[in-house]
Amino acid sequence: MTQKPPRILIVGAGMFGSAMAYHLAIGDADVVLLEAGPAPGCGVTGRAFGWINVINRPPQHPGYALLKAGFDAYRDPLVVPPQMLEGARSGSLIWHATAGETEDFGLSHQRAGEAVELLDRQALAKLEPCLRNPPELAVLSRNDLALDPARLARAFTDAAVRAGATVVFGQDVVGVEQVDGRPVLRSEKGEAMVADVVVLAAGSGTGKLMQALGMDIGVRTAPALLLRYACSTPVTSRILRMPRLELRQAADHTLVVAASFVDDGSDDLPRRLGEARLAVMRDELDLPEGVTLLSAEVGQRPTFDDDLPRLGFASQTRGIYLAVGHPGVILAPLFGKLAADEILQGKPTGLAAIPTA
């Protein structure tokens, strides 16, 4: 008698949810991906900068090895099919306020085994002629990727559907509970959806759903600003991170800028910050005429006090699996594969158990 495939409900079609739907679907699970919005990656994923790297974390960070594994997973065709990375660009350039700080930064990553190079001002100017004031020293990380996270989430979702998964948009899940030892999701309309495993990959919303079970997983939000600018010509083919600016350029020439954000309560603050950042770009780069701000969006990134993500079955529950944390875009393909192996084959992820209070 053929064993019935496990029914798995995934809440959230962001980077974590879409990658898990793909890996579970190709593992022959009965997958249903539920998304409150109208499309994959329409939440915090669509407000992510899209820098696949290791270099943004110091080598001594407790999550550095995990981040490296997530970075390497992008080059494994069994984890990320190469066609999903069409349009991605390679390479980043980083420098700090002083040459000494930049050198220390680069050497620390070289000692950790990363493929980074130190470039002097002349070499940098040849690579990036758009720079108006090239620094004395910069760090080149050739293998970094710049990509559109929402596009990648769509690619994973589409591939999951081709593998047999079902995707339901406009499905707002408001509660999770356990009935007769099985996890049950409750929709906004009161519908009950029963599964063998429920995967909660809804960003900070995962914490709210777990609270319905009386459990606090400790997730909080960290706001970040994503700015997009219309641009008519190529400016750079690499990610640039300098003391006053962090940007990349998309294939359609749109300039994408990441910035920190502290809310002051005013509705127009994101746009004001976007206009101020445009002035900084004009100081730092030779821009064409007509560069204008297209959008200024705040993304609420889910984080934890220890700055580590969470992946695995929640303790004190049966069949409830959590996937939440930052940096989700870097870790999502790896987490999708690890989760599928654990859920379908019982293979441990190697990560610490998830505490719930």
Residues 62-87 pLDDT 10s: 999 999 999 999 999 999 999 999 99
For residue 147, which of 218, 196, 99, 85 has the smallest C-alpha distance? Answer: 85
For 112-144, how does the pLDDT look when each residue is reduced to its tens digit (9 = 90+)? Answer: 999 999 999 999 999 999 999 999 999 999 999
Which pLDDT score, from 0 to 100, does residue 353 have?
58
CATH class of segment(s) 7-51+150-219+305-345: alpha beta
Residue ranges of domains in the chain? 7-51+150-219+305-345, 89-146+221-303
How confident is the prediction for the chain on average, in pLDDT? Answer: 94
pTM over the 0.75 mark:
yes
Strands 192-194 and 255-260: unpaired
Q: What span, in angstroms and rounded, lies between the C-alpha atoms of 218 and 161? A: 33
In three-state form (DSSP H/G/I as H, E/B as E, the rest C), the secondary structure along 23-85 is HHHHCCCEEEEEECCCCCCCCHHHHCCCEECCCCCCCCCCCHHHHHHHHHHCCCCCCCCHHHH
322: which strand partners?
Answer: 200, 312
Radius of gyration in angstroms for the set of CA atoms belonging to the chain, rounded to a whole number: 21
Which pLDDT score, from 0 to 100, does residue 1 have?
43
The domain 89-146+221-303 is classified under which CATH number: 3.50.50.60, 3.10.129.10, 3.10.20.740, 3.30.9.10?
3.30.9.10
Which pLDDT score, from 0 to 100, does residue 352 have?
65
For 288-342, how does the pLDDT look when each residue is reduced to its tens digit (9 = 90+)? Answer: 999 999 999 999 999 999 999 999 999 888 899 999 999 999 999 999 999 999 9
Q: Hey, which bits of 219-265 come out as E strands?
A: 220-230, 239-242, 245-249, 255-260
The burial class, CB within 10 Å (0-12 / 13-18 / 19+), for 266 is exposed
For 255-298, how does the pLDDT look when each residue is reduced to its tens digit (9 = 90+)? Answer: 999 999 999 889 999 999 999 999 999 999 999 999 999 999 99
